[in-house]
Amino acid sequence: MRLLSLLVAAGLTLTSGLASADSLSIEGAHVRAVPPVSTTTAAFMQLHNAGDADRALVAASTPAARVAELHNHVDVDGVMQMRQVKAIPVPVGEGARLAPGGYHLMLIDLAVPLHEGDEVALSLTFDDGQTLEVAAPVRRIETMGHGMPEEKAEEMPEGKAEGMSHSAH
Ligand SMILES: [Cu+2]
């Protein structure tokens, strides 16, 4: 499983969940843990824009999935529906919040099952051409909206060890 070792290597070279370049930065990036039968999941994070120009996230990619799409949830006659969007606005100061029930990165056709504690390398491209890389830990997200167990995943090195033993098969 070369791909999984690639994910682990990326996790070692990047500060977990945190990345910055120029005025844009990423905080709290994480990927939703899903059952092994699931081939899609979502990534969430807070994007900050401390610069003097509004930016937009226009593309994403990851070695962990064939496709990474930008998605939003929209209210259609009282029913929340997920839609692909061309861009996620990242205004100066305000930034953008990617969270359950709103904007998110949809990871489609996962290359390997993601275990809690694994780290997924995400590459985000913005409308000015700059790309930010971030290592997003896989976490269990119990509910929609708030109440994410942010600290729990940090204390679970077992997940990473398990991932490595799989790569030895
Ligand atoms: Cu989606």
- When pLDDT is averaged across residues 75-80 and rounded to a whole number, the result is 89
Neighbouring C-beta atoms of residue 85, cutoff 10 Å: 15
* Separation CA 138–CA 148 (nearest Å): 12
Predicted confidence at residue 13, as pLDDT, reads 47
- When pLDDT is averaged across residues 86-97 and rounded to a whole number, the result is 97
117: tokens are: 């504690």
- For the chain, list the strands marked E by DSSP: 19-21, 24-32, 40-49, 55-61, 65-76, 79-84, 88-90, 96-98, 104-110, 119-126, 131-139
pLDDT bucket at 137, cuts 50 / 70 / 90: very high
Distance, CA 94 to ligand 1 centroid (Å)? 22
Distance, CA 165 to ligand 1 centroid (Å)? 30
Q: Is the Cβ–Cβ distance between 43 and 98 less than 8 Å?
A: yes
pLDDT single digits (tens) 7-37: 544 444 455 666 665 699 999 999 999 998 9
Distance, CA 70 to ligand 1 centroid (Å)? 7
* Separation CA 94–CA 91 (nearest Å): 5
Predicted confidence at residue 14, as pLDDT, reads 53
Q: Is the Cβ–Cβ distance between 31 and 107 less than 8 Å?
A: yes
Distance, CA 145 to ligand 1 centroid (Å)? 15
- When pLDDT is averaged across residues 117-121 and rounded to a whole number, the result is 95
- When pLDDT is averaged across residues 86-105 and rounded to a whole number, the result is 96
Predicted confidence at residue 142, as pLDDT, reads 72
- When pLDDT is averaged across residues 39-54 and rounded to a whole number, the result is 96
* Separation CA 26–CA 124 (nearest Å): 10
Our CA angle for 12, 18, 21, nearest 5°, is: 105
Positive or negative, the CA dihedral 2, 120, 33, 56 is negative
Q: Is the Cβ–Cβ distance between 135 and 15 less than 8 Å?
A: yes
pLDDT single digits (tens) 141-157: 875 544 334 333 333 33
Phi then psi dihedrals of residue 85, to 5 deg: -120, 155
Domains, the chain, in order of start with CATH, read: 2-143 (2.60.40.1890)
pLDDT bucket at 111, cuts 50 / 70 / 90: very high
Distance, CA 106 to ligand 1 centroid (Å)? 5
* pTM confidence score: 0.73
Predicted confidence at residue 159, as pLDDT, reads 36
User: Is 74's pLDDT higher than 70?
Assistant: yes
Distance, CA 122 to ligand 1 centroid (Å)? 16
pLDDT bucket at 6, cuts 50 / 70 / 90: very low
Distance, CA 23 to ligand 1 centroid (Å)? 27
* Separation CA 103–CA 47 (nearest Å): 11
Question: What value does the mean pLDDT of the chain take?
Answer: 81
